[in-house]
Amino acid sequence: MIKTNSKIICAFSALLLAAGCASNGIDLSKTYTQQSALSGKNGTYKVGNPYKIAGKTYYPEEDYGYSETGVASWYGKDFHAKYTANGEIYDMNTLTAAHRTLPLPSIVRVTNLENGRSLILRVNDRGPFAKDRIIDISKRGAQLLGFLNQGTAKVRVEIMEEESKRLKEALLNKKEEPLIAQRGLISDVASEYNAPAIRENTAYQYKKGSYFVQAGAYKSRSTAEKLSAQLRKYGVSNIYKVNVKGTDFYRVRLGPYKHEMEAKIAMDKMVNNGVYEAQVVKD
């Protein structure tokens, strides 16, 4: 919703390249972007001053009791790769949203009252400013909530207080890799499961063309171990170590799956339980 600065976009692209790699046509930079949407990297925490749009004044505030019912819409390619209101880069394929007054970023639960679907989203932008709409959702979010084709839906939006406060603290203190997720799926405490071994790509053979659900790629081995262990409830979870320009990254994946639909079912379960960056990849 703000004009894009080409120099900063180029710098951001370099960061993406450093964080991911291309393997058999899979561009892992997209995974990094999705992690960014969760953790707040490349953006700042802000509440903001009152502002006026089309003659109406809006008053941003930290309202951790916020709950509202109204109409949701979604926004896509017209804003893709442009700045959000708190300085991030908008990616329509991640689970983010725009709200007129909530702190940026905040974590909210959005429930589609027309079909019962519920999803956790991260608010990192301002909007919508169309009459009677209370939240603008990313294209991916609209797909999962089931209103992409119709364009709008009646929803209930509720802020998640604990998760939002943890994200605020992480950004203000500039902590690395804050772990924010629904129902403590990813946590800072020790996992109840045994941590899996790190497997080199060459040590674990699978059939070419297999499908995986990639839950994330991290510099921290311990972070990858925690996530991988807790994801075992969804299927076979493994960690793959890759080296990108001299830096080691640990990719957390479920699979392999023979059919893409199997992977998509697993991915949707993970997304609906707070693993926002999950995506299907073919390797």
pLDDT in tens, 136-195: 999 999 999 999 999 999 999 999 998 899 888 888 886 443 333 332 333 222 222 233
The rounded distance, in Å, linking the Cα atoms of 54 and 172 is: 32
Residue 7 has pLDDT above 50, yes or no: no
Residue 99 has pLDDT above 50, yes or no: yes
- Looking at the chain, how many residues does it have? 283
Position 216 scores a pLDDT of 84
Give the mean model confidence (pLDDT) for residues 30-39.
36
Residue 228 has pLDDT above 50, yes or no: yes
Give the mean model confidence (pLDDT) for residues 27-40.
35
Position 215 scores a pLDDT of 87
Position 206 scores a pLDDT of 65
Q: 58-88 in b/e burial notation, b at 16+ Cβ within 10 A?
A: bebeebeebeeeebbbbbeeebeeebbbbeb
Position 237 scores a pLDDT of 86
Position 108 scores a pLDDT of 94
Residue 125 has pLDDT above 50, yes or no: yes
Q: Write the pLDDT tens digit of every residue in 44-55.
A: 899 988 988 878
Q: Write the pLDDT tens digit of every residue in 245-275.
A: 888 888 898 888 888 877 877 777 777 666 7
The rounded distance, in Å, linking the Cα atoms of 119 and 127 is: 19
Position 272 scores a pLDDT of 63
Cα–Cα–Cα angle for 30, 168, 67, rounded to 5 degrees: 95
